[in-house]
Amino acid sequence: MSTASLPPVAPEVLAEAVEQLTARLRKKLDATVAECAGRAAEGPDGTVEVRFGEDTLVTLRPGASGAVTGPEQAVCTCLLAPRCLHRAAVLGAAPIADGDALPPAGPPSPEPPVTDPVAPDPVAPDPVAAGAVAESRPEAPGVPEAPEAPGVREASEVPETSPSPAQVDAGAALWRAAAEALAAGVTAGGTVVQAELLRAAHTARLAGLPRAEAAALAVVRGLRTAREQGREQRLSDLTAAFRELLAGAVLLASGAAGSAAGPGRRAYEQGGALRVLGLCREPVLSATGYGGVTTHLLGPGGVFHTLSDVRPGGLARAKGAGTASVALGGGVLDHAGLARGGLLISGATVSADGRLGAGRDVRATPVRGADWSEEPVAALFARPVREAVAAVLDAAEPRGGAAPLLGCDVEVLGAAGDHLAVRVLGGGPVVRLRVAHPHPELPHTANLRRIGGFPGLALRVLGRPDPDRAATLRPLAVGPVPGAAHSLRLPEEWRGRADLGYDRLQGDHFPRPAPDGVAGAPVQAGPDPLADAPLWRVRRLLETGVAGGRRAVAEAARGADRAALPVPLRRAGLTVAADLAEALAAEADRRPRDSFGRLKDASSDAYARAWLASAVHLHAAERSLVTASWS
């Protein structure tokens, strides 16, 4: 049995176990953690046992939550226990427990949240470092404020307050631990480094900073997966996790991060009546074995809401949940009906990221939905696409979750490599449609491939913009364009839309024949300012630092051609990016000397600040180029 059968462990339990080890034992910890693979076995009364030789047995006794939340739940039979290498290694091999599985750090909220194990945790937004402003960044149009739903007040509307002294101290601890982990990189970011991050994450939790805690846990999980060379881990994801953790920590430590000290994820607010209209369904499938569905809804004032049903079960659960009953206030609809219908909710509870909660006082009554050609849903597709994208990408940052949905009318140009090229109607840009969920047993890929076989098709698309790719939309649902002669012909019961993750488009859903002069026309890829800009050099330098630590950045800067990094950036007008990259390389290569002239290790604080300034600027510059690509 593999270590996948080990129960989750609370961060502070592992941190304490590593802290109790001697320096000699800490050097052996990572090798011993690797030896735990395949040694776990089920013991009596729900325990898990890991044997080291004939006389040493480590036993984990998870609590009612299924996680090891106290040091007394992990025991070893060796003479050095509990300050032994075996116990710390087993705890280090176990997965890190989520905050939902741990005892509450403070008074419980009156409305327990409906958790979504797949959804990312909100983290503090990036600060704008001094001087780190993207060159020629276009001004994004203002986002009009949506009117508040009757009786519902989202948690994001609660006035922000300054962090308390305990929260400032927690932010400083997070900064120190994250800076040391960044300087070490993946290659040296073993269990000891991870334990320091976990200790800081626990401190943040005790201080009432669930967002900061979630950011630290995301970095730890990323380090683990990268060291194990997991297929699901991308170095760019770990780089983004480090950026968000350091950005939130430095704001907290400065005492200026009101949003970072705000309410935690899924903080549901009690409310009154709320009418929502179904938009589409989206399958949810995680690498950790969870599956389900998220139904996207539209509320008053154009506010997006979601209702999720995610549980253990993997692919089978994701496929079956599309027609499962909606667990909200005794509603009689299933998710398929809700996606094409609506609900009138009394006693509604809404989280800061728009999720609907299912409390005891919530009551839901089915109401007629709205076709995509009817108001207020039709307004989603009438907004100029560049203005809509700018608003969507800006709204995604403070919400901490996935970007809101974007609607637009397009004309299919045809397949182009791994994506589908379409042009926004009315003289808009060429946009790339990429599969939202690439699993072969979900119909996304097959539906997009079939759509690509009908160039000239007019299509109404509802999807999620990809914030990391130029002019890229990941469609969740499609429908016919009102008044278009060459568009989809969907069954009446589908109410003018097809959920690409559940409905399968057939040949009779498409018009024939194709418009004259369209079939067989070559597909022209739209411009990609993100790929054409030399910012990839900065991205590679930052990712090199995450993978190999500050030494790797210093070695990269000592290359034969030291001008290879800044010169192309300055030629492209990206002078700030060049200056920040040079400052990062110089700081990484800096080796101070003590009073006797001997070389000593440089502090990781200055290096982390230089890395963060470059990372924040790169993120802002790339986001500006992505927004401009929709013009």
Task: Write the pLDDT tens digit of every residue in 482-502.
Answer: 999 899 999 999 999 999 999
pLDDT of residue 126: 35
| Range in 140-154, 438-452, 553-567, 606-620 with the lowest mean pLDDT | 140-154
Q: Is 403 exposed, middle or buried (0-12, 13-18, 19+ CB in 10 A)?
A: buried
User: What percent of the chain has pLDDT above 90?
Assistant: 57
Kindly tell me if the per-residue pLDDT of 115 is higher than 90.
Answer: no
Mean pLDDT for the stretch of residues 304-327: 90
Q: What sign does the dihedral 349-280-234-26 (CA atoms) show?
A: positive
Higher pLDDT among residues 353 and 339, named by residue? 339
pLDDT of residue 261: 52
pLDDT of residue 602: 80
Higher pLDDT among residues 522 and 617, named by residue? 617
Mean pLDDT for the stretch of residues 283-290: 81
Mean pLDDT for the stretch of residues 571-589: 93
pLDDT of residue 2: 46
Binned at pLDDT 50, 70 and 90, residue 45 comes out as confident
Task: Write the pLDDT tens digit of every residue in 197-207.
Answer: 999 999 999 99
Binned at pLDDT 50, 70 and 90, residue 417 comes out as confident
Closest CA relative to residue 220, chosen from 182, 173, 169 = 182
Strand ranges of the sheet holding 274-285, from the earlier edge strand across to the other edge: 304-312, 290-298, 274-285, 342-346, 363-367
Mean pLDDT for the stretch of residues 621-627: 92
pLDDT of residue 415: 87
- Distance between CA atoms of 337 and 317, rounded to whole angstroms? 18
pLDDT of residue 217: 94
Task: Write the pLDDT tens digit of every residue in 86-105.
Answer: 999 999 999 998 765 566 55
Terminal Cα-to-Cα distance of the chain (whole angstroms): 54
Closest CA relative to residue 612, chosen from 265, 230, 174 = 174
Kindly tell me if the per-residue pLDDT of 143 is higher than 50.
Answer: no
- Distance between CA atoms of 393 and 616, rounded to whole angstroms? 16
Residues forming a β-bridge with 282: 294
Kindly tell me if the per-residue pLDDT of 110 is higher than 80.
Answer: no
* Structural tokens at position 439: 């699993």
* Structural tokens at position 526: 């739209």
Binned at pLDDT 50, 70 and 90, residue 15 comes out as very high
Determine the distance from the C-alpha atom of residue 485 to the mean position of all C-alpha atoms in its chain, rounded to a whole number: 40
Closest CA relative to residue 125, chosen from 261, 238, 12 = 261
Binned at pLDDT 50, 70 and 90, residue 399 comes out as very low
- Distance between CA atoms of 131 and 139, rounded to whole angstroms? 17
Mean pLDDT for the stretch of residues 4-12: 85
Mean pLDDT for the stretch of residues 48-70: 90
Per residue in 300-330, is it b (16+ CB within 10 Å) or e — as a string? Answer: beebbbbbbbbeebbeebbbebbeeebebbe
| Range in 128-137, 315-324, 399-408, 557-566 with the lowest mean pLDDT | 128-137
Q: Compute the mean pLDDT over every residue in the chain, rounded to the nearest whole number.
A: 83
Q: What single-letter amino acid sits at 441?
A: E
Q: Is 12 exposed, middle or buried (0-12, 13-18, 19+ CB in 10 A)?
A: buried
Binned at pLDDT 50, 70 and 90, residue 457 comes out as very high
| Range in 42-51, 109-118, 124-133, 412-421 with the lowest mean pLDDT | 124-133
* Structural tokens at position 474: 């990941």
Q: Are 156 and 399 in contact (CB under 8 A)?
A: yes
Closest CA relative to residue 469, chosen from 401, 541, 400, 526 = 526
Q: Are 521 and 455 in contact (CB under 8 A)?
A: yes
pLDDT of residue 139: 32
Task: Write the pLDDT tens digit of every residue in 195-237.
Answer: 999 999 999 999 999 889 999 999 999 999 898 876 566 899 9
Q: Which helix (H) or strand (E) holds 251?
A: helix 235-254
Q: How many CA atoms lie within 13 A of 463 on its CB side?
A: 31
pLDDT of residue 402: 52
Q: Which helix (H) or strand (E) holds 284?
A: strand 274-285
Kindly tell me if the per-residue pLDDT of 403 is higher than 90.
Answer: no
Q: What is the pTM of this model?
A: 0.80
Which residue's structure tokens are 């080291």?
Answer: 52
| Range in 61-65, 223-227, 427-431, 557-561 with the lowest mean pLDDT | 557-561
Strands (E), 299-398: 304-312, 342-346, 349-350, 363-367
Q: Are 550 and 183 in contact (CB under 8 A)?
A: yes
Binned at pLDDT 50, 70 and 90, residue 328 comes out as confident
Q: Which helix (H) or strand (E) holds 76?
A: strand 74-76
Q: Is 100 exposed, middle or buried (0-12, 13-18, 19+ CB in 10 A)?
A: middle
SS3 percent helix, strand, coil of the chain, rounded to 5, is 40, 15, 45
pLDDT of residue 347: 84
Interacting residues of 338 by C-beta distance below 8 A, sequence separation 6+:
278, 295, 297, 307, 326, 331
DSSP labels, 563-586: GGTHHHHHHTT-HHHHHHHHHHHH
Kindly tell me if the per-residue pLDDT of 630 is higher than 60.
Answer: yes
> Cis peptide leading into 165, omega within 30 of 0?
no
Task: Write the pLDDT tens digit of every residue in 528-575.
Answer: 888 889 999 999 999 999 999 999 998 887 765 667 888 899 999 999
